[in-house]
Structure 1
């Protein structure tokens, strides 16, 4: 039995190492190698010398500035929305919570293309309406700018932060704030000295995670930043590999390694800021979370929340529907109405092949990742096996690698594998990348679920003769099934929206919908992109509905 456990642990460590340590090691290798993957060359430091150029410094500055700006603005909005939903009497708070989180599940490439048609300075729908209403020739908005990049990144950053913060607001004992008020502190003093300080761990974690997501963002900068000459780390990596006659893999990989260094520095900074400090907000004393009556202001907070939903979901979806029915977006005359774009998509075999690949990768990738995450979570939460801390670190490591950086690491790694391991250029290359990117999510979801189960249940199963695998599947996963299902759907959404790693690892036969949409957009076919976007919206709404049903079942008494 010990031999079986040791073999299982060893196999898990090898698999996790291949998904995390191997691509990280290949990043180091590629940053020192002078030629593209698979070609003979020499080792030098030219890639790192490129990081000392003025262009590289500008790229780094752009990345940090955009990530910081969108994080500060997004965090402020997320805190406001969390407070509204968790601590006020704003009407329809349950519906508001669902609507605010919806943009997180919509692929960014979809909303990026929609806002590219809404905010185009020449023929964008918003600007056409503005010019018609005011008679001016100047556009109201221009998404191909710094503001456009930040605004689009905020559309999925605010829901992400809201998901992290809203439960923290719910779990905070209101008596702590009431004691401050009774002691003579004003509302602002109470917020700064009590609420803010008690929320500091969650706010810091949320800030760091959002900042990391800002550094690794790809869709917003490539759609809105590149036309305006705004380059960030992810787009610079993409341009060095895909937009040059002779790809510069060495410099691109060095940029990737720089990104990993930034991620690690941010995590270490958080540990330094919060290490050794206590922030207890929930005790054994029972309490009923109280809401703040807003009076007539409650309808204003309701409208503010609905405005966010309209701008981030309703307006883009309406734009996609509108442009899908006209020959050219921006020309909405009656004689321009057509169904040709739907016919074109219906007859395009490449689109259906990409859809098949996307759904296949979503189904297999989410299932495999959840099984892997369940095993890793079991080891780290419910056993005392030696090596479980190594497993924990390996499952955490992908957080430090943006998708496009992990894609570079796997690109080098797959090319250098022996011929009898044919991964490069196959759909398995995308599958492994998706599993690596999703493993941290799966482990965190299942760790929380397993941590709530008594060990007596497991021991009783083993006493009655069940094997380890029977106990894991029939008892633990069966009891944690709602969390498993929710994690599966989150991972499916993640694969559906993934672009940055896919853009480097796909081949002619393994394209996914996100890659096809980007290629069609850059190829000047926004109307057909709109049709694909509507298909994805339908998938998102369907799976979001299923997820909400599962969550309600999980929370039901």
Structure 2
């Protein structure tokens, strides 16, 4: 029976018969599973283009150029534009340099610390952005900041007076940089892994020092990766809302993303026209950046990857090895350890003060947030539901679309892949506003519902899930699917029984990332969340506006405390079963 089946599968085609596609590629497009996947891709495209289209039409409909002239002539416009360009531009350049240095240390020198070095620069991605921003306010507030208090204890006996004011351009740029570094690190580290090491070896043989090799050889050789990192940090920087709203409001640093939401939340009646025009401007700016990046990459003025193995010897830093290695730990300390430590200290203080010895300690803020504040309880429940269920659906849909795109190498596959990644080019603030305009009112009437939040989070974070899932799809050989098809399994069963288990590490990592980003989101939470459908970001900003900083710290730490175990569990579930079994047997043997 098996011989007959094999003979049938390998029988040559009749002369003159049309060529048939074989394996998984040949079955795609004919099965119900492929049809459903294609329909899902169309649905995702509609969810992106319909709200954005409504917003852009409104920007140019009715009020025309007079409204644009009025906006540009507003007394706050030039200051907002200046502040945004200065903060985002400076932060993007510094973040790019820091990320390039960390990637070079870990990928091309003997100061790298292996897999741990790959993880450390990405730690902020798995922590809520708002928690980092609040943490740094508690650390570097000029009046009662914990870090400033510690510096005073150390420096005042020496006759030195110094304090770091977080409510300033340097303070705001610092927290921007800490948030943006992971987004630049990912493409730059990948570029270093793919680079021909003979370029660096030739420079070292010629007598160049490590710093000169980095400046004149390594970075120019990975030009496309550097440009991709720059574009990514610019997109994320222009879209960032939680950092400037927490840190930039007090010093009156006017950032475009904050101004868009302020036009709706802090204006009566809401200035939707201003918000729409500002959002359209932001979209146009990002389009210009994208076109410029594509042209620079397409010019071909970069070194090409050679044929030599990337396993060549790394650059030896000599006495600089440990100082360079310590930069990885310094970054994690600034981006995660210190802010979380500050949240923990202030959340247990009766009143926020830098003198820990004189502090009174209490659990009252947690009791109030978790048990005495109905809005806080519902926000935690809603955020958990949206992060776990909504995030899981987002990852599953992304996996379906990416599998379809990778296995069908034609125009439809390319369109599906582009659809899954298209929202990455649109800031969260703009997408949230577009959903308000398109779906909150008639005829859909989805305002003040969890559904509109779930749809917005789905669209905002499907690019994260798609990019994280793509490497897992590419690592699965087509022969696995072909063997499943020869055995009689359909595409749906092959996807569920073969692809999903093999892709599990990447899918769980994507789920963890989407969960963390949903839980720590502010723009979507602020614009689409209400008292009837609160989420943690909505409540946290409300408590922040009330000035109850101890409760803000408690809520931010609760947010972080939720994300850490969930991420750890998802990472553990994503490990192959044989590795989990091996680890369990080793643990029982030690016991």
Q: Same fold (TM over 0.5)?
A: yes
**What's 2:174 paired with?**
151
Contact persistence 1:218–1:234 (CA under 8 A): yes
**Secondary structure at the residue paired with 1:246?**
coil
Task: State whether residues 414 and 424 of structure 1, in contact with CA within 8 Å, keep that contact through their aligned partners in structure 2.
Answer: yes
Match of residue 325 from structure 1: 348
Q: Report whether the alignment pairs 1:172 with 2:195.
A: yes
Partner of 1:345: 369
Q: CA deviation at 1:80?
A: 1.5
- Residues 226-279 of structure 1: CA deviation (Å, up to 9, x unaligned): 211111111110111111122100110110111111111111111110115275
Offset of residue 117 of structure 1? 1.6
Shift of 1:455: 2.7
CA-CA distance at 1:102 after TM superposition: 1.5
Query: How far is 1:99 from its partner?
Result: 3.4
For 2:244 and 2:524, the matched residues in 1 are separated by: 15
Correspondence for 2:128 = 107
Q: In 2, are the aligned partners of 1:90 and 1:298 still within 8 Å (CA)?
A: yes
In terms of mean alpha carbon deviation, does 273-282 or 241-250 score higher?
A: 273-282
1:51-89 CA distance string (max 9 Å, x none):
422532332232222111011111111112122222333
Equivalence for 1:259 = 282
Selected match of 2:379 from 329, 349, 354: 354
Partner Cα distance (1:314, 1:131) in 2: 21
CA RMSD of aligned residues (A): 2.8
Residues 143 and 149, structure 1, Cα contact 8 Å, conserved in 2: yes
Counterpart contact for 2:244–2:255, Cα < 8 Å: yes
Three-state SS of the structure 2 residue aligned to 1:311 is helix
Classify 1:100/1:276 alpha carbon distance in 2 versus 1 (closer, same or farther; 3 Å): closer
Alignment-derived partner of residue 68 in structure 2: 48
Paired residues of 1:88 and 1:292 also in contact (CA < 8 A): yes
Larger Rg: 2
Q: Name the CA distance, whole Å, in 2 between partners of 1:335 and 1:536.
A: 24
SS at match of 1:90: coil
Instruction: Say whether residues 1:204 and 2:227 are aligned partners.
Output: yes
Judge conservation of contact 1:51–1:57 (CA < 8 Å) in 2: no
Verify the 8 A CA contact 1:125 1:330 in the aligned structure 2: yes
Aligned residues: 547
- In structure 1, C-alpha distance between the alignment counterparts of 2:516 and 2:489, rounded to whole Å: 35
Aligned CA distance change for structure 1 residues 475 and 180 (closer, same or farther; 3 Å): same
Q: In structure 1, how many angstroms separate the alpha carbons of the residues matched to 2:359 and 2:218?
A: 58
Find the counterpart in structure 1 of residue 18 from structure 2: none
Q: 1:218 to 1:554 in 2, by over 3 A?
A: farther
**Contact 1:377–1:446 (CA<8 Å) still a contact in 2?**
yes
1:455 equivalent in structure 2: 478
Structure 2 contact 348–362 (Cα < 8 Å) conserved: yes
Equivalent residue for 2:390?
365
CA drift at 1:394: 2.5
Specify every segment of 5 or more residues in structure 2 that has no aligned partner in the other structure, as ranges. 1-28, 583-591
Q: 2:416 aligns with which of 391, 402, 406?
A: 391
The CA distance in 1 between the partners of 2:280 and 2:303, in whole Å, is: 37
Q: What secondary structure sits across from 1:336 in the alignment?
A: coil
In 2, Cα distance between equivalents of 1:86 and 1:245: 53
Aligned residue among 401, 404, 413 for 1:379: 404
* CA distance in 2: counterparts of 1:122 and 1:148, whole angstroms: 15
Q: 1:188, CA displacement in angstroms?
A: 5.3
Are residues 1:28 and 2:64 paired? no
Contact 2:469–2:506 (CA under 8 A) maintained in structure 1: yes
Q: Name the stretch that deviates more: 274-283 or 170-179.
A: 274-283
Are 1:32 and 1:46, in contact at CA under 8 Å, matched by a contact in 2? no
Residue by residue over 1:128-170, the C-alpha shift from the partner in whole angstroms, topping out at 9 and shown as x without a partner, is: 3334444489661111111111111111212332233334323
Using the alignment, how far apart are the partners of 1:64 and 1:163 within structure 2?
A: 24
Deviation, 1:357, is 0.6
The residue aligned with 1:520 is 543
| Contact 1:46–1:251 under 8 Å retained in 2 | no
**For residues 382 and 10 of structure 1, what CA distance do their matches in structure 2 show?**
13
CA distance in 1 between partners of 2:209 and 2:197 (Å): 15
What SS does structure 1 have at the residue aligned with 2:87?
Answer: helix
Q: Is the 8 A contact 1:30 1:412 kept in 2?
A: no
Inter-partner Cα distance in structure 2 for 1:221 and 1:230: 8
**1:31·1:47 contact (CA, 8 Å) conserved in 2?**
no
Report SS of the residue matched to 1:375: helix
Q: Which residue matches 2:40? A: 12
> Cα–Cα, structure 1 residues 50 and 550, in superposed 2: closer, same or farther, change >3 Å?
farther
Structure 1 residue runs of 5 or longer lacking an equivalent are: 34-41
- Relative to structure 1, the CA distance from residue 50 to residue 369 in structure 2 (aligned partners, 3 Å threshold; closer, same or farther) is farther
Change in 2 beyond 3 A, CA 1:97/1:550? farther
- Residues of 2 paired with 1:496 and 1:403: CA distance? 14
- Aligned mate of 1:71, from 85, 92, 96: 92
CA contact (8 A) 1:90 1:294 kept: yes
Normalising by structure 2, what TM-score? 0.85
Change (3 A) 1:5 1:85: closer
**In 1: Cα distance, 2:91 partner to 2:253 partner:** 15
In structure 2, relative to structure 1, the CA distance for the partners of 1:180 and 1:442 (3 Å cut) is same
**Paired residue for 1:39?**
none
- Out of 397, 407, 414, the residue aligned to residue 439 of structure 2 is 414
Distance 2:59 2:488 in 1: 53
- Could you report, residue by residue, the CA deviation over 1:27-55 in whole angstroms, capped at 9, with x for unpaired residues? 1133246xxxxxxxx55455423442253
1:250 aligns with one of 247, 268, 273: 273
1:462, CA displacement in angstroms?
A: 2.4
Cα 1:301–1:205 shift into 2, 3 Å: same
In 1, the alpha carbon distance for the partners of 2:561 and 2:37 equals 41
